[in-house]
Structure 1
Amino acid sequence: MQEESRIALLIDADNCPASKIELMLDELAKYGVTNIRRAYGNWKSTSLNGWADKVHEFAIQPVQQFAYTKGKNATDSAMIIDAMDLLYTQRLDGFCLASSDSDFTPLVMRIRANGLKVYGFGEKKTPMPFVNACSRFLYLENLITESPDDSAAPSAKPERVSSKALRGDSRITSLLRNAVEACVGEDDNWASLSSVGSHISNQTPFDPRNYGYKKLGDLIEATGLFDTERRGSHLYLRDKRSKGKGSAAA
């Protein structure tokens, strides 16, 4: 039996809403077991009252961090120091950093240089260098409870980026087209969605939910840039700019 990946979750409680913790843990469960859970902040502050019950309910270790100097974020420094300690003293496969406040880019790059995954959670104000450095990053505004009957309140659902806006985003179009081109078969111009998704994941922390789409296939179809064809349970893609070399399998 394959051993589960071990992930350390480090939370900047001052800049991460307690209401999202269950959804964050559910998301991390897709990648492994979160066996280290720590939340950092000044626990004497009333601003962390929302976390009081959550740290017990979800077995999170609260780490006290006093604000030694006004205007300085001591919590970020404590998280960085602990992350480096864990990197060298524990057998981990990945880290998750939950914060919207500061730029953890150097820390993320250092962890990834050691071959570990780094998952990030933060609000849309999170600095882009931090977002782009992670193996995968998800905006907390787009992390919502899945409803079996899809009856979640409209205000809770992330706003979808329109097809026109997706096509007008050169970063997205280039990312998708380059990924499809890299994954096409030898005999035709079709690429499987699974291989395209893997290629993108290895390249950038692109997550379709950050654009309001539940799945990568939904976002790709929304762009209107690709022909799609289902072969059994697998979806295949072809850039519409191609001349359609090769015929599709039945």
Structure 2
Amino acid sequence: MENERHIAVFMDYDNLAVDPQLVSDFLQEKGRVVLRRAFGDAMRDARIRQGMVESGTVFIDRPRFGLPDHQGNDICLTIEVMEVLATRPNITTVVLITSDSDYTPLLVKIREYGKEAFIIGRRGTSGSLVRLADRFIVYEELARQERLPAESPVESARFLLQRAEKAIVEKGSSLHIQNIEQVMLRLDPSFDYKALGYATFGSFMKSIKGPDERGEENGPSAETVSWDGSWENAIHILRKALDILAEERKEPYIALLSTTMKRVAPGFDHQRLSTKKFSEFLQGVMERASDFEMINDEFDFKRETIWGRVLRHNNLRPMPEYREGILKAFLDYYHENQDSVNLSLKDAAINLAKSISIAKRPVNEIMMAIKFSGLLVPISGEGYVTFGIPFRITDEAGLSEAVAKVYLRRMLRARPARSSDFPLISTMLYGEGTRVALLQKLLAALIQEQEVEFVNNQYVSTNKN
């Protein structure tokens, strides 16, 4: 998955003894854990080494020999972290497992290198650690989370699937079938759909998910569908065929749609539904389902249905009813605090959610769009802006347009747009009262930046990721 976190974990075991496997399972949902180090006195607990080995953690033994001084851990851990920061540019996130405030300067240094900094600590952890961390996780809460019992291998796989989908959604990525398989294997490398009796991962997904979850949520599958002769089954096959044509970026011409339905269900025959012509079958579909339309020689989802699916399946919420108000409040907060060396998106999000009485979710989503607007730079002048990095804005006047462009860019990555879609897309971006001219301005900027191109009368993203 693009932009996947690469996580390095450093544990001060003498300060906070944790279950390394529990921590590892939790962090695997946030990204790929590529390095694990723990520092402590193995004589404290003979079971330490076994737990560390099972979780893939390298344990660096520092015996105390009865001495009270534990600063050796601090020094060794700090040296290891600094070496990683200097030599491992692929690391995006550093996790410190400690409640010791002595690590505060190290946390500052991690952020100066442009890395995310997570802290896993006990309740009552030093306030300086909590404030400086991009995310603080209370270990007692983590340890109390119940794990679902695995009643059978299939139920265990179902639970693993749920964890993978949750991790993908939290990251803001699309629930494509390839992403799901990749994250499931990362969470549990022993997962094997073939051992459960499935020939392909697609057939595993089709079987393990309920009827309402299949097909649409994960994009078109390479698996064929059986044809049972019912209208309900025919409409399901038709939806999958339209998804395949959209993924292949082909126009849904009626003749092409007919052959694509046979790709999905080789046994499909519309005449079994008492429709002599394929066009009669399509008319029957529109009588039974309201989200389709036929224009000249094309048959497709209605445009509002198409773009509604794009937003829903890609976890996009432009929120025009909130966006401008949140952006104004954000700029006001920025003006009031721009002299502070600790001004971060995390601080802004927390304060805005309180000051303008809006739920955290829309505020956080707008903050995410601001982060990717390209108009924020770290105060240090190095690296890139994360939620915990102090920043400054390079173009306040252009922020609203840049945020709208972030949403448009992501929409076009999911689906090409036609000129006829402009009124609908502009309403989604800006609210009631179409603003096609503003949309055209954004498209012109994306074309100039070579992120969008005009091909076959469609605006197509050049970024296929």
User: What TM-score do you get using the length of structure 2 for normalisation?
Assistant: 0.33
Q: Which position in structure 2 is the counterpart of 1:12?
A: 12
Q: Is the alpha carbon distance of 1:191 and 1:75 closer, same or farther for their aligned partners in structure 2, counting shifts above 3 Å?
A: closer
CA distance in 2, matches of 1:116, 1:5: 10
Q: Which amino acid aligns with 2:363?
A: S
C-alpha displacement of 1:180 = 6.0
CA distance in 1, matches of 2:360, 2:140: 30
Match of 1:193 among 361, 366, 369: 361
1:206-227 Cα shifts (integer Å, max 9, x gaps):
xxxxxxxxxxxxxxxxxxxxxx
CA distance in 2, matches of 1:35, 1:54: 18
CA distance in 2, matches of 1:147, 1:198: 32
Match of 2:88 among 87, 90, 99: 90
Classify the secondary structure of the residue corresponding to 2:108.
helix
Q: Is the alpha carbon distance of 1:198 and 1:63 closer, same or farther for their aligned partners in structure 2, counting shifts above 3 Å?
A: farther
Q: Which position in structure 2 is the counterpart of 1:130?
A: 129
CA distance in 2, matches of 1:70, 1:59: 29
Q: Which position in structure 2 is the counterpart of 1:55?
A: 52
Classify the secondary structure of the residue corresponding to 2:123.
coil
User: What TM-score do you get using the length of structure 1 for normalisation?
Assistant: 0.59
Residue 81 (1) aligns with residue 84 (2): no
CA distance in 2, matches of 1:101, 1:192: 29
By percentage of residues, which structure has more helix? 2
Q: Which position in structure 2 is the counterpart of 1:141?
A: 140
Residue 179 (1) aligns with residue 353 (2): yes
Q: Is the alpha carbon distance of 1:148 and 1:31 closer, same or farther for their aligned partners in structure 2, counting shifts above 3 Å?
A: closer
CA distance in 1, matches of 2:140, 2:98: 13
C-alpha displacement of 1:199 = 4.0
CA distance in 2, matches of 1:191, 1:11: 34
1:100-157 Cα shifts (integer Å, max 9, x gaps):
23431110111111110011111113211112111101111111333449xxxxxxxx
> 1:23 touches 1:145 (CA, 8 Å); kept in 2?
no
Q: Which amino acid aligns with 2:76?
A: A
1:178-200 Cα shifts (integer Å, max 9, x gaps):
23657xxxxxx866724336749
Q: Which position in structure 2 is the counterpart of 1:42?
A: 41
Larger Rg: 2
C-alpha displacement of 1:56 = 1.2
C-alpha displacement of 1:93 = 0.6
Q: Which position in structure 1 is the counterpart of 2:250?
A: none
Q: Is the alpha carbon distance of 1:147 and 1:42 closer, same or farther for their aligned partners in structure 2, counting shifts above 3 Å?
A: closer
CA distance in 2, matches of 1:197, 1:136: 16
The Cα RMSD (Å) is: 3.3
CA distance in 2, matches of 1:203, 1:142: 22
1:138-177 mapped onto 2 (5 Å cutoff): 138-143=137-142, 144-148=144-148, 176=350
Tell which has more relative contact order, 1 or 2 (C-alpha 8 A, sep 6+): 1
CA distance in 1, matches of 2:367, 2:66: 45
Q: Which amino acid aligns with 2:54?
A: E
In structure 2, the gaps of 5 or more residues are 150-347, 369-385, 390-465
> 1:14 touches 1:48 (CA, 8 Å); kept in 2?
no
> 2:11 touches 2:39 (CA, 8 Å); kept in 1?
yes
1:44-80 Cα shifts (integer Å, max 9, x gaps):
x2x2334222111111111122438933221111111
Q: Is the alpha carbon distance of 1:119 and 1:68 closer, same or farther for their aligned partners in structure 2, counting shifts above 3 Å?
A: same
C-alpha displacement of 1:13 = 1.2
Q: Which amino acid aligns with 1:77?
A: I
Q: Which amino acid aligns with 1:121?
A: I
The count of corresponding residues between Structure 1 and Structure 2 is: 173
Q: Which position in structure 1 is the counterpart of 2:61?
A: 64
Q: Which position in structure 1 is the counterpart of 2:315?
A: none
CA distance in 1, matches of 2:47, 2:366: 37
Q: Which moved more, 1:129-138 or 1:101-110?
A: 101-110
